[in-house]
Amino acid sequence: MFELKTLFLFMATAIAEIAGCYLPYLWLKQGQSVWLLVPAAASLAIFVWLLTLHPTTAGRTYAAYGGVYIFVAIIWLWIVEGVTPTVWDMAGSLVALTGMAIIMFAPRHA
């Protein structure tokens, strides 16, 4: 159960970060409304708060989070941007998820 909760928390964290960065991208690169910066700032604040909910040290959390971020970014590419990931995109994101699992779920000695 711990592993599933951790994975979902990482995924929510990644969605908040990606949304917080994607909205300014839409404003700067696609000429959309500057008002997108308001939900972007809120999303990045949520991202930071979510990082504090992880039950391990900050360094380990950040290292493992990177693997989930890569996976979620590829899913974002597919769902939000409408670009089908390549087999290499998916393979790389699965390798990153494997790295996250090793970092977060390996046995630890006290």
Q: From first to last of its 110 residues, what are the pLDDT tens digits of the chain?
A: 778 888 899 999 999 999 999 999 999 999 999 999 999 999 999 999 998 898 788 888 889 899 999 999 999 999 999 999 999 999 999 999 999 999 988 888 76
- Tokens linked to 25: 């991208």
Whole-number Å distance between alpha carbons of 80 and 45: 21
Whole-number Å distance between alpha carbons of 99 and 105: 10
Q: Are 103 and 67 in contact (CB under 8 A)?
A: yes
Instruction: Please tell me the predicted confidence (pLDDT) of residue 6.
Output: 87
* DSSP assignment string, 23-55: HHHHHHHH---GGGHHHHHHHHHHHHHHHTTSS
Whole-number Å distance between alpha carbons of 79 and 95: 21
Instruction: Please tell me the predicted confidence (pLDDT) of residue 86.
Output: 98
- Tokens linked to 64: 């493992």
Instruction: Please tell me the predicted confidence (pLDDT) of residue 110.
Output: 63
